[in-house]
């Protein structure tokens, strides 16, 4: 018996440390993902042999388990292939979209899982948990590795409270300072000629994914923390902003799927524009009646309202300028004209500013076949809900642009 004990012990240790390896390719065979489960989840993605991206440390840190997914062994691997035509409720870039991918679902203990989908256009993955009760997510982990000469186009931000209006920057990835925040989408231009765009889809009841610099050719995932206290002092612009946070990122149902993490791969910019992965990975439409949705081109006055020249009126937020823009919309076949910030006092949606007759403008727009959209601050609308909606309806405004 003593003779066999070391052999049995060595065999047991070997089984625990042996990596579980899987491969999954795109329908056209050009993209190939190599997945390894060994004390964590690791992914290498290449296109026709050229490295695209490497992912490591895919996991969730929860109140129940410090590193969910990081120490699991696969109990079951399920493969699936889909090739179908999807018709969007509201036409996208095309009337119909091709939804074609190969899928690999790796199930761990207690039915926690990670699902990979490889399209011709890129790789996506999402996590699934199966707890009976609610779950507190302390942190989501992901390390995203590129090559030292790869560069990135991104929007930087000093905090998670971003207007998403800063100019895009272009840098070598390692030149992004440590912990420098970058929000999605983020585009990497690889030295081997490939483009890799990071994005996400199916984001519900969960914070968005951000990437932060490390001072190397690597990004680390990060998410905004869960709100503890909101601010309702000072300007209405700041109402509802986060004043204090918890030390975790989400409270969720224990059994659920999480957002898709998307890494689109393209040979050139044209392929990036044609990529539909975000739409195809979103949850299906659940609205039974979509007849009220009227898509169309929108022109808005934010940049131009004070910069109209060669006319017989003073440009600004006024009736004459609005009619001028509505005439242009009608000439170009644009469905909507939108009043941006400035058409009313920020805290009062019931009265337009002096010089602007909203009833006259909306009546004029109707004769031109143009609908009017109004920019509003959410908390002003919330405070004046019934009166504001009645006023807007009577004024024939067709839609609102809400600023949260």
15 pLDDT above the threshold of 70: no
392 pLDDT above the threshold of 80: no
pLDDT digits (tens, 9 = 90+) for 157-176: 999 988 888 999 999 999 99
7 pLDDT above the threshold of 80: no
Domain shared by 268 and 327, yes or no: no
Residues 6 or more apart whose Cβ sits within 8 Å of residue 59? 40, 41, 67, 68, 69, 70, 140, 141
Run of H or E including 11? helix 5-17
pLDDT digits (tens, 9 = 90+) for 185-244: 999 999 999 999 999 999 999 999 999 999 999 999 999 999 999 998 888 888 888 999
Domain shared by 172 and 71, yes or no: yes
**Any bridge partners for residue 298, and if so which?**
336
Q: Is residue 289 part of a domain?
A: no
User: Contacts by 43-51 with C-beta closer than 8 Å and gap 24+?
Assistant: 43/116, 43/123, 43/125, 45/123, 45/263, 45/265, 47/194, 47/265, 47/267, 50/192, 50/193, 50/194, 51/147, 51/190, 51/192
**Strand pairing report for 241-245 and 227-231:** antiparallel
Q: Is residue 1 part of a domain?
A: no
The confidence score (pLDDT) of residue 67 equals 72
Phi, psi of 385 (to 5 degrees): -45, -65
The confidence score (pLDDT) of residue 395 equals 65
Is residue 402 very low, low, confident or very high in pLDDT (cuts 50, 70, 90)? Answer: low
96 pLDDT above the threshold of 80: yes
Domain shared by 87 and 232, yes or no: yes
pLDDT digits (tens, 9 = 90+) for 143-154: 999 999 999 999
Q: What is the rounded average pLDDT of the residues 131-150?
A: 96
**Any bridge partners for residue 330, and if so which?**
none
Q: Nearest 5 degrees, angle CA 237-CA 164-CA 235?
A: 10
Last residue of a domain, one of 280, 308, 325: 280
The confidence score (pLDDT) of residue 216 equals 97
Is residue 399 very low, low, confident or very high in pLDDT (cuts 50, 70, 90)? Answer: low
Domain shared by 312 and 271, yes or no: no
Domain shared by 257 and 333, yes or no: no
The confidence score (pLDDT) of residue 113 equals 96
Is residue 349 very low, low, confident or very high in pLDDT (cuts 50, 70, 90)? Answer: confident
Domain shared by 116 and 193, yes or no: yes
The confidence score (pLDDT) of residue 345 equals 87
Q: Is residue 115 part of a domain?
A: yes
Structurally, the chain folds into a number of domains equal to 2
Q: Is residue 274 part of a domain?
A: yes
Last residue of a domain, one of 254, 280, 306: 280
Residues 6 or more apart whose Cβ sits within 8 Å of residue 352? 343, 344, 358
Q: Is residue 246 part of a domain?
A: yes
Asked if 384 and 349 touch (Cβ cutoff 8 Å), the reply is yes
Domain shared by 219 and 307, yes or no: no
What is the pLDDT of the chain when averaged over all its residues?
90
The confidence score (pLDDT) of residue 378 equals 84
Q: Is residue 237 part of a domain?
A: yes
CATH code for the domain in which residue 385 is found:
3.20.20.70
Domain shared by 306 and 273, yes or no: no
Domain shared by 222 and 135, yes or no: yes
Is residue 33 very low, low, confident or very high in pLDDT (cuts 50, 70, 90)? Answer: very high
Domain shared by 349 and 206, yes or no: no
Range of lowest pLDDT (178-182, 261-265, 391-395): 391-395
Structure tokens given for 256: 């659920």
Range of lowest pLDDT (6-20, 90-104, 358-372): 6-20
Q: Is residue 14 part of a domain?
A: no
Domain shared by 310 and 270, yes or no: no
> Could you tell me which residue, 132 or 104, shows the higher pLDDT?
104
69 pLDDT above the threshold of 90: no
CATH code for the domain in which residue 99 is found:
2.70.98.10
16 pLDDT above the threshold of 50: no
* Percent above pLDDT 70 for the chain: 93
Structure tokens given for 249: 């990122």
Q: How far apart are CA 348 and CA 341, in angstroms?
A: 12
Q: Is residue 4 part of a domain?
A: no
13 pLDDT above the threshold of 50: no
- Give the distance from CA 243 to its chain's centroid: 23
Domain shared by 339 and 275, yes or no: no
The confidence score (pLDDT) of residue 385 equals 86
User: Where in the sequence is the domain holding 95, given as residue range(s)?
Assistant: 20-280
12 pLDDT above the threshold of 60: no
309 pLDDT above the threshold of 70: yes
CA distances for 337 relative to 60, 324, 333, 344, angstroms: 45, 11, 11, 16
Q: What is the CA radius of gyration of the chain?
A: 26
Q: How far apart are the first and last CA of the chain?
A: 71
Last residue of a domain, one of 228, 249, 280: 280
């Amino acid at each position: 018996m003593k003779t066999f004990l070391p052999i049995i012990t060595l065999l047991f240790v070997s089984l625990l440390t042996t990596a579980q390896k899987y491969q999954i390719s795109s329908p056209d065979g050009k993209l190939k993902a190599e997945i390894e489960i060994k004390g964590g989840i690791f992914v290498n993605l290449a296109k026709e042999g050229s490295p695209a991206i490497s992912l490591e440390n895919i996991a969730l840190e929860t109140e129940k388990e410090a590193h969910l997914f990081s120490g699991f062994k696969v109990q079951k691997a399920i493969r699936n292939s889909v090739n179908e035509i999807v018709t969007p409720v509201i036409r996208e870039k095309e009337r119909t979209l091709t939804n074609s991918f190969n899928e690999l679902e790796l199930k761990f203990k207690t039915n926690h899982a990670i699902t990979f989908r490889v399209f011709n256009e890129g790789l996506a993955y999402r996590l699934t948990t199966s707890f009976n009760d609610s779950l507190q997510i302390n942190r989501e982990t992901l390390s995203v590795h590129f090559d030292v000469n790869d560069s990135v186009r991104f929007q930087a931000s000093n905090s998670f409270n971003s207007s998403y209006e800063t100019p895009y920057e272009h840098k070598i990835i390692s030149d992004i300072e440590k912990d420098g925040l970058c929000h999605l989408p983020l585009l990497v231009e690889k030295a081997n000629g490939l483009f890799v765009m990071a994005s996400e889809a199916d984001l519900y009841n969960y914070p968005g994914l951000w990437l932060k610099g490390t001072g190397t050719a690597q990004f680390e995932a990060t998410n905004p923390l869960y709100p503890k206290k909101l601010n309702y002092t000072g300007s209405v612009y700041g109402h509802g902003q986060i004043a204090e946070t918890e030390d975790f990122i989400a409270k969720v149902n224990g059994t659920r799927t999480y957002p898709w993490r998307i890494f689109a791969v393209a040979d050139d910019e044209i392929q990036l524009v044609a990529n539909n992965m975000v739409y195809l990975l979103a949850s299906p439409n659940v609205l039974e009646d979509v007849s009220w949705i009227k898509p169309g081109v929108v022109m808005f006055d934010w940049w131009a309202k004070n910069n109209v020249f060669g006319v017989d009126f003073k440009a600004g937020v006024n009736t004459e300028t609005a009619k001028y823009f509505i005439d242009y919309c009608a000439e170009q076949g644009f469905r909507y004209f939108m009043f941006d910030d400035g058409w009313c006092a920020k805290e009062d949606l019931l009265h337009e500013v002096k010089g602007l007759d909203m009833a006259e403008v909306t009546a004029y727009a109707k004769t031109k076949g143009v609908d009017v959209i109004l920019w509003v601050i959410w908390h002003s609308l919330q405070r004046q809900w019934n009166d504001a909606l009645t006023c807007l309806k009577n004024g024939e405004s067709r839609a609102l642009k809400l600023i949260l």
